[in-house]
Amino acid sequence: MKPAILLIGANGQVGRELNRMLPLLGDVTALDRQRLDLSKPEEIRRAIRTFRPAWIVNAAAYTAVDNAESEEAVVSTINAEAPAVMAEEAKKTGASLVHYSTDYVFDGSKTSPYNEDDPTNPQNVYGRTKLEGERAIQASGVPHLIFRTAWVYATQGRNFLLTILRLATQREELRIVRDQVGAPTLNREIGKATANVLSQICTGTSSSFSFAKVSGIYHLTAAGETNWHDFAKAILEEATVTVASTPWFAAATNTLPLITRRVIPISTIEYPTLARRPAYSVLSNARLARTFSLRLPDWRTQLHSAFADGSLNRL
Ligand SMILES: NC(=O)c1ccc[n+]([C@@H]2O[C@H](COP(=O)([O-])OP(=O)(O)OC[C@H]3O[C@@H](n4cnc5c(N)ncnc54)[C@H](OP(=O)(O)O)[C@@H]3O)[C@@H](O)[C@H]2O)c1
Residue 206 has pLDDT above 60, yes or no: no
| Per-residue model confidence (pLDDT) at position 210 | 83
Per-residue pLDDT of 230-286, as tens digits, reads: 999 999 999 988 877 777 777 777 777 889 999 999 999 999 999 999 999 999 999
Query: What is residue 273's predicted lDDT score, i.e. its pLDDT?
Result: 96
On the question of pLDDT at 205 being above 70, the answer is no
In angstroms, the CA 56 to CA 160 distance is 29
Convert the pLDDT of each residue in 176-194 to its tens digit: 999 999 999 999 999 999 9
The percent of residues in the chain predicted with pLDDT above 90, rounded, is: 86
Give the residue with greater pLDDT, 251 vs 117. 117
**What's CA 260's distance to the chain center, in Å?**
28
| Cα distance between residue 65 and residue 79, in whole Å | 12
User: Hey, which of 13, 20, 185 would you mutate to test ligand 1's pocket, going by the most ligand atoms within 8 Å of its Cβ?
Assistant: 13
Buried b (16+ CB within 10 A) or exposed e, 87-113: bbbbbebebbbbbbbbbbbbbbebeeb
Residue nearest to atom 42 of ligand 1 (CA): 12
Q: Which pLDDT score, from 0 to 100, does residue 35 have?
A: 97
- Ligand 1 centroid distance, CA of 106 (Å): 19
Residues of the chain above pLDDT 70, percent: 97
Query: Is residue 118 very low, low, confident or very high in pLDDT (cuts 50, 70, 90)?
Result: very high
Residue 315: predicted pLDDT? 65
Per the residue annotation, which of 62, 100, 126, 153 is the catalytic one?
126
Query: What's the CA gap between 129 and 72, in Å, rounded?
Result: 8
pLDDT at 308: 87
Span from the CA of 79 to the centroid of ligand 1 (angstroms): 9
Interval 70-91 mean pLDDT: 98
Q: What does the pLDDT read at residue 251?
A: 72
Asked if residue 207 has pLDDT above 60, the reply is no
* 258 against 214, higher pLDDT: 214
Q: Per-residue pLDDT averaged across 50-62, rounded?
A: 97
Look at residue 208 and tell me whether its pLDDT is greater than 70: no
What does the pLDDT look like over 95-116, one tens digit per residue? 999 999 999 999 999 999 999 9
Mutation probe of ligand 1 site: the residue of 33, 43, 162 with most atoms within 8 A of C-beta: 33
Compute, in angstroms, the gap from residue 59 CA to the centroid of ligand 1. 6
pLDDT computed for residue 314 by the predictor: 63
- Out of 152, 185, 221, 228, mutate this one to test ligand 1's pocket (max ligand atoms within 8 Å of CB): namely 152
Q: Which atom of ligand 1 is nearest to the CA of 151?
A: 3
pLDDT, mean of residues 162-180: 95
302 CA to middle of ligand 1, Å? 20
pLDDT at 150: 98
Nearest protein Cα to ligand 1, atom 8? 102
Q: Is residue 271 flagged as an active site residue?
A: no
Distance CA 27, CA 4 (A): 5
Ligand 1 is surrounded, with C-beta below 6 A, by 9, 11-15, 33, 36-39, 59-63, 78, 100, 102-103, 130, 149-152, 157
pLDDT of amino acid 235:
96
Cα of 9 vs centre of ligand 1, distance in Å, is 7
Question: What pLDDT is attached to residue 258?
Answer: 86
pLDDT of residue 310: 73
Residue 302's pLDDT band (boundaries 50, 70, 90)? very high
